[in-house]
Structures are given as C-alpha cells and as structure tokens.
Amino acid sequence: MRDETPCEVAIIGAGVAGLACARVLKENNISFTVLEKSDSPGGRIQTDYLNGYQLDHGFQVLQTGYPDIDQYLALESLDLAAFPSGVAVRYDQRFHIVADPRRHLKNFYSTIASPIGTIGDRFKLLRLVGSLVRRPMADIFEDPEEPALQFLKQWGFSERFIKSFFTPFFAGACLDPSMKGSSRVLKYVTRLFSTGDAALPAGGMAAIPRQIAASLPTDSVVYGQEVIRIEEGAVTLADATVVRANQIVVAVPQPVCARILKVGAPVSSVGEACVYFSSEWRPPLPEPFLVLNGEGAGPVNNIAFPSLVASTYAPPGKTLIAAVVLGNQFLPRDDLEDLVREQCGGWFGPEVDQWEHIKTHRIHHALPDQSPPTANPYEGLEQFSPGITICGEQTSLPGLQWAIMSGAMAGRSVAERLGD
C-alpha cells in the first residue's frame, strides 16, 4: 500500500454532481482531485458514438424548464433541439395527440377530442399545471407528500386518464409504472414539462458532463481510479493506493456509496432497457412526438425518435428509434429485441420487420426508488462526518438538474468549511 501526495479535497465520482462540486471549488481557488472509475466523465450520462449514430445510455433529455439550469450550463453551446410540447398516446389501436395548447394551437381540437380520458380530465390537467407554474419550484417540496396515484385520484382524474396518460408519462420520467413515487416528484416533472422544453444536445447527452469537465483545470479529473473504501481523511483505491485529503466529497450512485462508506444498505433500484433501431422509415405522426404506451400491454413504455429532433443523432436519411422498456423482469431476457419488435409491429405495421437493431442498453440501477418520503433538494446537505460530505441522489432527488445543484451545494459547503 502506498500513499499519494495529499490533496486539499478529493471528489469521488465524475458524474455531474462531482463535476459541479469541482467547479465550485475551482471558483473558490481550492485545489481538488476528482477520482473516477471509468474512462470518461458523466457517470450514468453517457453517449455511444457508433457508425454515425449517437446512442445515449437510456433515453434521456435536458429539461430547460428547470429555473436555474442556465446558472450551471452554457445552453447555447450545447446547440439544443427540442421535442414538441406534447405526446402521442397509443390507445385503442390508434395514436392520439395530447399537446400543450399554449404552444401547439393546431393540435387543440385533436387534444380535446382524443379518447384519452374526458374533457373534464383536460381541464383538470390545465388547472393542475396552472397551480404549479404560478409557484416557485422550491415550494413544491414543502407540500404534503403521498404516492402519485393517490394524489391524482384526489384531484379527480378519471381512471382511464391516469392509466393511459399519467402512468406512461410518469413511468417515462421516473421509471415508475406503479405510480408509487412521490406526489412531489410528479408535480415537479409536470411543472418542468409545462414551462420548458425536453431537449437534446447536438453532441448527445454526454456533451453536458463534457462541458462541465472542460471548465476544470487540466488533469484535475483522474480516470481509471476505482475507490473501494473511504475513511476520515483517506481514500483507498483498488490498487491499494491511499489518497489523503483534508475533505472528501462522495458523489457516486447510492449503491456504490453504501459499499465504499461501509454504511447502510443499497436502496431499491429501478432499471430500464433502451433498445435502439435504425430505419429509413418515418413514423406516421405530424411531428416527432414522444410516443407513450397508453394501452398498458407489452414491454415498451415509450418510444422516441431522437434523430427527427436532433439530426446529429443519425446519419443522413436514417431515423433513430429508441424504445424504452421498464420492469426488471424484462432486463435479463435474451429475446428482448424480439419482444420490442413484435409490439412495435402491432403499432406501426410490417415496416418494423425492416428495422435494423443497433444496440440495447440494459441499466439495472437507472434510478433509485422515489417513493415517499423523499428528500427536499433545496435543503442544505447533511455532513456525513467532519471530513466527508455526500452529494447526489443519496441526499437529494435523482435527476440531472438535482445532481448538478446538489454537487454545487456540496462545493460551497466544503469551501466554507475550509475557509473556517
């Protein structure tokens, strides 16, 4: 076992939380070293570049409706392209457009007339959205908390609207088809989709952590460094190297955090698979809406066409198709591609037989369970010990925006501690 040269702050993990923490330390002229197990920044935000295709690890988007996102990211440099503000719901063997009438007036009558719930459901949805957008985001996390399904029933939404719209919508955003997740999370997601765009960077989702990493000092992020244990003032790597640090920030997924700190147990994880296909075919939709499975049958929860939103996601003339599968029972199945193709064939017809399978990403810890009670991401971080701070999904909510904000909060906390 050998000791490395001591550093002021050691940050474990180069996901967006760890990178955001590092940037705050840089702004406060505090030296740091980021230790990352893999060979690239981003954590679970990764993109494969394969034969002209950009394949994000799991279907992900950047929500521009987060009120402070431009404080952390240079959005103009990401060259964002936005999905239409609405969805196409597969229900009763047809696709029905449910769009935001404020931004898609031409879809107003199709939205009102669709069989996805009742007209009363539409007006309740508008009332819910209105109640959320008039409030500061932070206020949502002071509200009483209950399972999302119970909250929607109390609002009076019909069972059909909950099953055909809210369930696949919430499942797509939070990977929770059971609707047991927190009502606060449902409100937050609904507000985001109502006040901003779901967008894709031209360079894939991996462009986001790359942008943050590029703002850090050269060689401050060290890759290929697996951490196996953390103690006060010391980080032990897999090769038995010990990195000494005055302060340590842990910014890794919760199961990893529980293992390297030797405390607690991993939380319940929710997984997903993203099955990517390519074709010269184009979907029979007026715009490249996200498609939700409102029928409830089959493994596919939602389908997106990223290249029809951001052309950089596929070679010219090709359509990239991303089918998202939820449920841990499907992830290990060898016939997952066939199951997805069969379901899509029932939706889009025999053209699906000609789709070319590119790759399948299976992500077993895509998100932690978000059932109540959940953390308030606006509250200050609790210090694990005098020299160890934890940030990310363990102390906040899972999600890109919350990870960045949690990391920045950790950076400010450490800077204040070192200043004192």
> What are the domain boundaries of the chain?
7-46+206-268+373-419, 53-201+270-368
Chain center to CA of 296: 22
* Spatial CB neighbours of 375, under 8 Å, sequence gap ≥ 6: 395, 396, 397
Stated pTM of the model: 0.94
Model pLDDT, residue 143: 94
Q: Do β-strands 300-304 and 94-99 pair in parallel, antiparallel, or remain unpaired?
A: unpaired
Model pLDDT, residue 263: 78
- Residue written as token pair 């606060």: 184
Number of neighbours of residue 238 by Cβ within 10 angstroms:
12
Model pLDDT, residue 395: 85
Helices (H), 134-182: 137-140, 148-155, 159-161, 167-174
pLDDT tens for the chain, 420 residues: list them. Answer: 466 668 899 999 999 999 999 999 999 999 999 999 999 999 999 999 999 999 999 999 999 988 888 888 999 999 999 999 889 999 999 999 887 766 655 665 566 668 888 989 988 998 999 999 999 999 999 999 999 999 999 999 999 999 999 999 999 988 888 899 999 999 999 999 888 899 999 999 999 999 999 999 999 999 999 999 999 999 999 999 999 999 999 999 988 998 999 877 667 778 899 999 999 999 999 899 999 999 999 999 999 999 999 999 999 999 999 999 998 778 888 999 999 999 999 999 999 999 999 999 999 888 888 889 988 999 878 789 999 999 998 888 888 999 999 999 999 999 999 986
Sheet holding 62-63, edge to edge: 62-63, 198-201, 80-82
Q: Which amino acid is at 30?
A: I
The CATH classification number of 53-201+270-368 equals 3.90.660.50
Model pLDDT, residue 3: 66
Compute the distance between CA of residue 220 and CA of residue 300 in angstroms, rounded to an integer. 41
* 29 Rama sector, left if φ>0, alpha if ψ -120 to 50, beta otherwise: left
Number of neighbours of residue 390 by Cβ within 10 angstroms:
26
Chain center to CA of 170: 12
CATH architecture of residue range(s) 7-46+206-268+373-419:
3-Layer(bba) Sandwich (3.50)
Number of neighbours of residue 85 by Cβ within 10 angstroms:
19
Model pLDDT, residue 194: 87
Fold agreement (7-46+206-268+373-419, 53-201+270-368) = no
Q: Do β-strands 47-50 and 290-293 pair in parallel, antiparallel, or remain unpaired?
A: unpaired
3-state secondary structure of 162: helix
22 to 13, 41, 217, 417: CA distances (angstroms): 10, 12, 10, 15
